Amino acid sequence: MEGITISSASIKDVATLQTIGRQTFFETFAPSNTEEDMKKYLDENFTVEKIMGELHNPGSHFFIAWEDSGAIGYLKVNEGNAQTELQDEYSLEIERIYVLSAFHGKKVGQILYEKALEIANAEHKQSIWLGVWEENPRAIKFYEKNGFVAFDKHIFKMGEDEQTDIMMRKTL
């Protein structure tokens, strides 16, 4: 998509990451979850302190998608011990590809995914993996289109609700 640029995020971008994270998570998951569970998750996972901690982790990397001067999405990838589960030195985890709903269908997610692929190839990783909610068919289809296959499941705690994520991997 023309006009979209990707930049590496830093501490100065914490408010942008917080805003996009909260908004995209709410847009995507609020219709399928209780108000209480959504509030609890957003309040615990998108605090300035939590995002600052993630930004300070040397194994985690954030990239923001911009259109003109406005942030429209972001990517978070993890390697080594920063990975949420596998912690395989030969793999890169895509923890988040978040795109504002107004930009769905405009290839922003694809551009962010390609940034993750670029990082994985530059780091000579053997695979990329991620977890995706089993009730998010749009995301599952996106990852399947990009060559990911399911290999396991895990529990994702959404407030007080335990939900199942499909773990998917792409061999490079």
Does 34 map to a domain? yes
Question: 98 lies in a domain?
Answer: yes
Give a yes or no: residue 163 inside a domain. Answer: no
Within a domain: 154: no
Give the count of domains, the chain: 1
pTM of the model: 0.93
What are the catalytic residues? Answer: 143
**Per-position DSSP letters for the chain, written without gaps between them:** -TTEEEEE--GGGHHHHHHHHHHHHHHHHGGGS-HHHHHHHHHHHS-HHHHHHHHH-TTEEEEEEEETTEEEEEEEEEEGGGSSS---TTEEEEEEEEE-GGGTTTTHHHHHHHHHHHHHHHTT-SEEEEEEETT-HHHHHHHHHTT-EEEEEEEEEETTEEEEEEEEEEE-
Query: Domain span at residue 72?
Result: 4-125
pLDDT at 2: 67
pLDDT in tens, 111-169: 999 999 999 999 999 999 999 999 999 999 999 999 999 999 999 888 888 999 999 99
Residue 146 belongs to some domain of the structure: no
CATH code of the domain covering residue 65: 3.40.630.30
What does pLDDT average to over the chain? 94
Lowest mean pLDDT, pick from 3-12, 51-60, 143-152, 153-162: 153-162
Average pLDDT score over residue span 48-77: 96
